[in-house]
Amino acid sequence: MKKALLLSALLALSSFAVSAKDWKDIRMASEGAYPPFNEVSGDGALKGFDIDIGNALCAEMKAKCSWVKQEWDGMIPALMARKFDAIVASMSITAERKAKVDFTNKYYASPVVLIAKDGSPLRPDLATLKGKKIAVQRGTVSDHFATKYWDGKGVEVVRYGKQDEAYLDLKSGRVDGTFADY
């Protein structure tokens, strides 16, 4: 899966026809629920690798950065509604997303894996997943894959707003596995 730093407003100004903007004050968004890339600190501020990257870009441009915490499944719609200028988050490049926003080159790669309790015989195939509940974060490439190849074929795909919620339900036994970034 390709991961990219999404800075559509910064790199493709023509997408929104906002060339008059001076880019001295930039509103960047991240989810805050994907450590160590982005998370919320004790004081409520966003922190993590993605935030560090965004702040470094702002410093290089001599611009003031402000951060907006945005739920993952509303990230692209909120960008398109101009609630912020750019997204700095771990986002896989898909044809559907690329039709709406521009991406930079990827800055890291992370495979998608099936995660289950230690000793589980589950594998990412229908033979071992039939009759099981598999958690995914809503709106991710894991969700799209699970929906296309498993949902309705004997596997119950359970969707969560945040990956941490899926991990909690895996730990408590409410789901049999979760399909997520490694």
Kind of pairing between the strands at 133-137 and 156-160: parallel
d(CA 117, CA 158): 17
pLDDT attached to residue 67: 97
Residue ranges making up the domain that contains 158 = 112-181
Regarding whether 131 and 74 lie in a shared domain, the answer is no
Per-residue pLDDT, 92: 83
Question: Are residues 102 and 117 part of one domain?
Answer: no
Task: Say yes or no: 119 and 170 in one domain.
Answer: yes
The pLDDT tens digits for 97-114 are 999 999 988 878 888 999
Q: What is the CATH number of the domain that holds 53?
A: 3.40.190.10
Residue 176 φ/ψ, nearest 5 degrees: -90, -20
Q: Please state the pTM of the whole predicted model.
A: 0.65
Same domain, 94 and 117: no
The residue type of 57 is L
Which value, to the nearest 10 degrees, does the dihedral of the CA atoms of residues 32, 34, 5, 19 take?
A: -20
121 and 59 share one domain? no
Q: In this structure, are 103 and 117 located in the same domain?
A: no
Return the pLDDT at 131. Answer: 97
DSSP H/E element including 80: helix 75-80
- What residues of the chain score a pLDDT lower than 70? 1-21
Which of these three, 109, 143, 164, is where a domain ends? 109
Query: Is residue 137 within 8 Å of residue 143, measured between CB atoms?
Result: yes
Total domains present in the chain: 2
What's the confidence (pLDDT) of residue 93?
Answer: 85
Q: Which two tokens stand for residue 142?
A: 């894991």
Distance CA 178, CA 172 (A): 12
